[in-house]
Amino acid sequence: MDGERVVLIAGPTASGKSALAMRTAERRGGVVINADSMAVYQDLAILTGRPDAADLARVPHRLYGHRDAADPYSVGVWLGEVAAEIRRARALGAVPVVVGGTGLFFKALTQGLSDIPAVPGEVRDRVRAEASGIAPEALHARLAALDPLTAAGLRPTDPQRIVRALEVFAATGRPLAALQASRSAPLLGEGTWVGVVLTPARDGLRGAIDARFDRMMAEGALDEVERLVRRGLDPALPAMRALGVPPLAAHLGGALPLADAVARGKAETRAYAKRQDTFARHQLAGFTPASPERADATVDDLSAAG
């Protein structure tokens, strides 16, 4: 893709990515493009911190809130959408500023997408039916026997990814880890992008996460989840597993006091931020770490170089 290099901004939740993206877009005449797998859902405006009217008035935003919660969404779908938005920005003479917390999106964008075939519906249904009657530890052990590399990177408490790996093996006869090692050419080649990953201090990030969750509650997050729950969607859908949704849904169902639901939502968000940081450090090759205080200067320095 020709033109000025695409700016990529990654980092943990509540680290200031969105604010940095807007400042960058304002300085460089850019368009902010979403790279968060949950911010695509129109049903999750509050819990994903989607841009508000004031943000939209400052700079154009793309790929936010354009999907229904009932729709599955994948990295492959996002790659097609982000490619179109980058071309659109180029045609308008704008700098694409891609920002979000889904590290897998950035990895696919800059390193290529694993060539994993679709799992036939009958295979998926069969594997899921079998898995529903198996304890998490036993399910993890089954995967370890078939695909030890993938199992080593997953916790027994992550049944969705474990079942996904079992589905792939059942459909292809090959371990997911082996399929992931085979990648397509990246959408953004070397020299066409600059990447920054925010690295806030841990204590400061913890406070920011808690304050963000409190702010979302004050803005109506509980009502947002109630509307979502009333739709009766499959609990396995990505939108139903977004940060904050499960504990608040549990409260609405009478299974959890509100204070406990909020505490659990904060704890799950902190754990997710830790995983985001780990993924960025080990998987996002070519991204430059930057403290929030130095992030603007780092973006400008990288964009001016080369």
Domain ranges within the chain, ordered by starting residue: 6-113+183-304, 121-180
| Mean pLDDT value of segment 72-81 | 93
Q: Are strands 30-34 and 95-99 parallel, antiparallel or unpaired?
A: parallel
What's the CATH code, domain 121-180? 1.10.20.140
At 207-235, the pLDDT tens digits run: 999 999 999 999 999 999 999 999 999 98
At 273-301, the pLDDT tens digits run: 999 999 999 999 999 999 999 999 999 99
Query: Which residues are annotated as part of the binding site for ATP?
Result: 11-18
* pLDDT score of 2 more than 70: no
pLDDT averaged over the chain? 94
What span, in angstroms and rounded, lies between the C-alpha atoms of 278 and 271?
Answer: 11
Q: What is the pLDDT of residue 3?
A: 66
* pLDDT score of 1 more than 70: no
Q: What is the pLDDT of residue 181?
A: 78
What span, in angstroms and rounded, lies between the C-alpha atoms of 49 and 26?
Answer: 20
Task: Give the residue, 184 or 143, on which the prediction is more confident.
Answer: 143
Contacts of 144 (CB under 8 A, 6+ apart): 151, 152
Query: Which residues are annotated as part of the binding site for substrate?
Result: 13-18
Strand partners for 7: 97, 194
* pLDDT score of 45 more than 90: yes
Look-up: residue for tokens 């609405």?
A: 252
| Mean pLDDT value of segment 172-181 | 88
At 231-271, the pLDDT tens digits run: 999 988 999 999 999 999 999 999 999 999 999 999 999 99
CATH architecture designation of domain 6-113+183-304 = 3-Layer(aba) Sandwich (3.40)
Residue 120 per-residue DSSP state: P
What percentage of the chain reaches a pLDDT higher than 90?
86
Query: Which residues are annotated as part of the binding site?
Result: 11-18
Instruction: Look up the pTM and report it.
Output: 0.83
E-assigned strand segments in the chain: 6-10, 30-34, 61-62, 95-99, 193-198, 287-290
Three-state DSSP state, 194: strand
What span, in angstroms and rounded, lies between the C-alpha atoms of 211 and 217?
Answer: 10
